[in-house]
Structure 1
Amino acid sequence: MASRSWSSLIRILLIILTVMISASWNSLPVKAESEGTCQAAYGLTPDSVSDWLMAAEENTDLTTTNRYDILAAELLSSGLVDGSTCPSNGLNPDGSANGCGVELTTDHVIAWQNQYDAVILSASQSTELPPKVVKAVIAVESQFWPGANWRLGEIGLGQMTGYGADLVLMWRPAYFQSICQKAFGENGCAAQYLFLEPSTQNLLRGMVLREIDAMCPNCQGGVDLEKGKQAVQVLTETLNASCLQSARIITMVTGKSPASLLSYDDYWRLVLANYHAGAGCVYQALRKTKNPNSWGAIASNFSSGCTSGAAYIRRIEEQIKP
Structure 2
Amino acid sequence: MASRAWSPVIRFLLVVLGMTTANWNAVPVKADSGGTCQIAYGLTPTSIPDWLMHAEENTDLTTANRYDILAAKLLSSGLIDSSSCPAQGLNPDGSANGCGIELTTDQVKVWQNRFDPTILTYSRSNDLPPKVVKAVIAVESQFWPAANWIQGEIGLGQMTGYGADLVLMWRPDYYQSICRQAFGGKSCSTQYQFLDSATQLLLRGLVLKEIDATCSSCVGGVNIEKGNQAVLVLTETLNASCMQSTRVIYLATGKSPAALLSFEDYWRLVLANYHAGAGCVYQALQKTGNPNSRNVPERSEWDWNSIAANFSSRCASGAEYIRRIEGQIKP
What TM-score bracket applies, with the shorter chain setting the length?
A: over 0.9
Q: Is the contact made by 2:163 and 2:237 (CA closer than 8 Å) also made in structure 1?
A: yes
**1:211-290 to 2 correspondence within 5 Å?**
211-290=210-289
Q: Secondary structure at the match of 1:149?
A: coil
The TM-score with structure 1 as length reference comes to 0.95
Q: CA deviation at 1:47?
A: 1.8
Equivalent in the alignment of 1:6: 6
Unaligned runs of 5+ in 2: 290-296
Say whether residues 1:37 and 2:36 are aligned partners.
yes
* Kept in 1: contact 2:14–2:278 (CA 8 A): no
CA deviation digits over 1:121-173, x for unaligned, max 9?
Answer: 01001111000000000000000000111111000000000000000000000
Q: Does 1:305 align with 2:314?
A: yes
1:318 aligns with 2:327: yes
Aligned length: 319
CA–CA distance in structure 1, aligned partners of residues 211 and 186 of structure 2: 24
Alignment partner, residue 159 of structure 1: 158
How far 1:27 moved relative to its partner? 3.9
Is residue 11–residue 162 contact of structure 2 (8 Å, CA) maintained in 1?
Answer: no
Q: Which runs of 5+ in 1 are unaligned?
A: none
Provide the secondary structure at the position in 2 that maps to 1:239: helix
Q: CA deviation at 1:48?
A: 1.6
Cα distance, 1:21 vs structure 2: 4.2
Alpha-carbon shift at residue 22 of structure 1 (Å): 3.3
Q: Are positions 1:296 and 2:295 aligned together?
A: no
Quote the sequence identity (%). 71
Q: Report the CA distance between 1:14 and its aligned residue.
A: 2.5
Name 1:48's counterpart in structure 2.
47
Mapped partners of 1:269, 1:230: distance in 2: 25
In 1, Cα distance between the equivalents of 2:304 and 2:149?
33
Root mean square deviation, CA, Å: 1.8
Query: Can you list the C-alpha shifts for 1:85-117, whole angstroms capped at 9, x where unaligned?
Result: 111111011100001100100010000000000
Deviation, structure 1 residue 35: 5.7
SS at 1:179 equivalent: helix
Offset of 1:303 from its aligned partner? 1.0
Gap change, CA 1:20 and 1:193, over 3 Å in 2? closer
Paired residue for 1:198? 197
Provide the rounded CA distance (Å) in 2 between the counterparts of 1:117 and 1:73.
21
**Aligned pair in 2 of structure 1 residues 30, 213: CA closer, same or farther (>3 Å)?**
farther
**Alpha-carbon offset, residue 3 of structure 1:** 2.6
The CA distance in 2 between the partners of 1:118 and 1:7, in whole Å, is: 35
Quick one: structure 1 residues 257 and 194, their matched pair in 2 at CA, closer, same or farther if it must change by over 3 Å? same
Separation in 1, partners of 2:204, 2:145: 18
Q: Distance in 1 between matches of 2:266 and 2:302?
A: 10
Q: CA shift at 1:185, angstroms?
A: 2.7
Runs of 4 or more above 6 Å deviation = none
Given the two structures, how large is their TM-score scaled by the length of structure 2?
0.93
Residue aligned with 1:56, SS:
coil
Instruction: Give the 3 Å change call, closer, same or farther, for CA 127–158 of structure 1 in structure 2.
Output: same
Is residue 66–residue 108 contact of structure 2 (8 Å, CA) maintained in 1? yes
Distance of 2:131 and 2:161 partners within structure 1? 25
Alpha-carbon separation, structure 2, partners of 1:189 and 1:28? 26
Give 1:17 deviation, angstroms: 3.3
